Amino acid sequence: MNLGECTKSAFRNVFSNKMRTLLTMLGIIIGISSVIAIVSIGNGSQAAIEEEFESFGTGSLTISLSGSNDIETRDLLTMDDYDMLKEIEGVSYVNTTYSGRNTYIKLLDPQETKSASVSGVTADAQYIDNPTMIYGRYISQNDVDMRTNVAVINDTTALKVFGHCDENVIGEKIKLKTWKGTGKYTVIGIMENTNASTETAYSDEFPEAVILPVSTAMRLYNNKNLNGFSVLIEDLNQTEMMKQRIIMALEEFHNNEDKYYIQDSSEMVDSINSILSYVTLFISFVAGISLLVGGIGVMNIMMVTVTERTREIGIRKSIGAKNKDIKIQFLTEAVILTGMGGIAGLVLGVAFAAIIGHFAGITPVLSVSVVALAVGISMSIGILFGVAPANKAAKLDPIEALRFE
């Protein structure tokens, strides 16, 4: 029997019992679709993170305390450090990293409040974070100097607080509530929410973003200590030198050593991507277990098939079929089963990834190599778990097989 006839016969045998075929492929379908969806979403998340960091501008350095346990009061970062960093040669812009806790914003219904993520920034933030302003303006240096009660919100927050997002929101006031009491802040700008689709899907999970002048935020929380700084340098080729220069300047300013840590944007992207890769790999491994279960299911069904077709095998051998022909026949059937399961799993995986991506605000990324690998793995499972049934069929004694009922 040539390869063409063998393949036709294999397809005929596979589809002779459609329900059994479907149930046998189910494990392969679930495993492949899970892996495809997970890898696609993982790759899409990495691409989104890289794009997000690129939007902040290259050459961005993040300065923070090292996290050691022996931090003293003199080591804490303040606006004096901001003034000092602005004077360092090679530094273009400096923004503060300042955030408050346990803050709530009043929504459209006066009786409703929601947690708010308040950030205190300098005027330089607009050059480092590159916000897309829809209406109004961003925080200015005068706002910082005068500690004005002004705020910049995003379009999502505007809708939830005022019920509409247009130029009429400019000049309206938002109310922020902390442990100290409630404060009113005039909206001077509305920026685009880059995480709009994600926040729409999980609206109750995300705090509303509010940006204040850093001096105003310090007054709100009665705390002058900063979390850190974001610094934009002039020359990317001098990144390592600038790190050392900034660290030395901070240590000299505070008269200490090994208290500060600087990470550039590329390191942050690599760090986050590394974590995502490990998470994706682990979840893919768990999903891959279903492939193993599916493979065992294929082997089990093929064993049953060999038993059911014992007389057929005996007849074929009696008219001249060789052991090799019988083995190839059953291996082909196993590969067709898992191959079809792999293709069906691929289609379902892409569909699942698209649905998950839609609600999570992520564009799934699926490479040709992953597709080829998925199909290749599914067919390899057919070969691996089809060998034992194929060998069993090939070793049947034709006389004993003909007597089988």
What is the per-residue pLDDT for 324? Answer: 86
Cβ atoms within 10 Å of 247's Cβ, excluding its own:
17
Q: What are phi and psi of 205, to 5 degrees?
A: -95, -30
* 349 CB-near residues (< 8 Å, 6+ apart): 32, 33, 34, 35, 36, 37, 40, 374
Burial class (CB in 10 A: 0-12, 13-18, 19+), 67: exposed
Task: Give the rounded distance of the alpha carbon of 39 from its chain centre.
Answer: 10
Q: Is the dihedral of CA 309, 313, 318, 319 positive or negative?
A: positive
CB 133 within 8 A of CB 189: yes
pLDDT confidence of residue 2: 64
Structural domain boundaries in the chain:
3-52+271-403, 72-258
The phi and psi torsions of 194 (rounded to 5 degrees) equal -70, -15
Q: Going by DSSP bridges, is the β-strand pair 173-178/104-106 parallel, antiparallel, or unpaired?
A: antiparallel
Per-residue pLDDT of the chain (405 residues; tens, 9 = 90+): 566 777 787 788 778 888 888 888 888 888 888 888 888 888 888 777 766 665 555 568 889 998 766 888 889 999 999 999 999 999 999 999 898 888 999 887 777 888 888 999 999 999 888 889 999 999 999 999 999 999 999 999 999 899 999 999 999 999 999 887 788 999 999 999 876 544 443 455 578 889 999 999 999 998 899 999 999 988 878 888 999 999 999 999 999 988 998 988 666 666 777 777 787 778 777 777 777 888 888 888 888 888 888 888 888 888 888 888 888 888 888 888 888 888 899 999 999 989 988 887 788 888 888 888 888 888 888 888 888 888 888 888 777 766 665
**CA 101 to CA 103: how far, in whole Å?**
6
Residue 273's Cβ-count burial label (10 Å; 0-12, 13-18, 19+) is middle
* pLDDT for res 198: 43
φ/ψ bin of 21: left (φ > 0), alpha (ψ from -120 to 50), beta (otherwise): alpha
- By 3-state DSSP, what share of the chain in percent is helix, strand and coil, each rounded to 5? 60, 20, 25
pLDDT for residue 197 = 46
Q: Among 140, 144, 59, 55, which Cα is nearest to 98's?
A: 144
Decide if 62 contacts 268 (C-beta within 8 A): yes
Contact by Cβ (8 Å): 396, 323 = no
- Taking residue 108's Cβ as centre, other Cβ atoms within 10 Å add up to 11
CB burial readout 11-48, b (16+ within 10 A) else e: eebbeeeeeebeebbbbbbbbbbbbbbbbbbbbbbbeb
Instruction: Please state, in angstroms and rounded to a whole number, the distance separating the CA atoms of residues 44 and 209.
Output: 24
208-213 and 113-121 beta bridge pairing: parallel
Regarding beta strands 150-154 and 133-136, do their DSSP bridges make them parallel or antiparallel, or are they unpaired?
A: unpaired
Q: What is the pLDDT of residue 201?
A: 38
Say how far apart CA 113 and CA 215 lie, in whole Å: 25
Residues 208 and 114: beta-carbon distance below 8 Å:
yes
Burial class (CB in 10 A: 0-12, 13-18, 19+), 83: exposed
Angstrom distance (rounded) from CA 27 to CA 395: 28
CA dist 267 and 288 (Å) reads 31
Q: Are 136 and 189 spatial neighbours (Cβ–Cβ below 8 Å)? A: yes
The secondary element (H helix, E strand) that includes residue 190 is strand 181-191
- CA dist 44 and 358 (Å) reads 12
